[in-house]
Amino acid sequence: MAPFIDQIRFGPDGLIPIVTQDAETGELLMVAWANAEAVAATAAEGRAVYWSRSRGKLWRKGEESGNVQRLVEMRLDCDADVLCYRVEQLGDIACHTGRRSCFYRRLEGDAWQTVEPILKDPQQMYKK
């Protein structure tokens, strides 16, 4: 594995949180998890690769939906325990709900309000 991987502090479960951000606008798109193999694959392939905790396997963003995240740069935080993938979001949708960002709800008073529209029906993106 690449030497830079050794400088990353993965958690006891072998995972590290990944904050994914639009490289051009700075918009927060999503948060996911990665293991060493996923981080190495992201660097090698130039596209976001995560570890799917629910599926127990590597997950190449967009492999089903077509909404690929092209890696612009990868950053490591000061404690070496969080990564930021700065990406170009191809297809303009990062969220499995069909929205631009997974952060589509805003607290207004004491209730969460949906403030971002669905850009594409998830059933059209995920045909299983």
The residue ranges of every structural domain in the chain are 3-118
The pLDDT assigned to 124 comes to 87
**What is d(CA 116, CA 15) in angstroms, rounded to the nearest whole number?**
30
pLDDT recorded at residue 14: 98
Can you give the pLDDT at residue 22? 98
Measuring CA to CA, how many Å separate 111 from each of 34, 43, 107?
31, 39, 6
Q: pLDDT tens, 24-36?
A: 999 999 999 999 9
Q: What is the pTM of this model?
A: 0.91
For residue 2, CA distances in Å to 21, 62, 93, 112 come to 24, 24, 30, 42
- Given this model, what pLDDT does residue 7 score? 97
CATH of domain 3-118: 3.10.20.810
How crowded is residue 85: how many other Cβ atoms within 10 Å of its Cβ? 27
What was the pLDDT predicted at 123? 87
Which residue stretches of the chain have pLDDT < 70?
A: 127-128
φ, ψ (nearest 5 deg) of residue 58: -60, 145
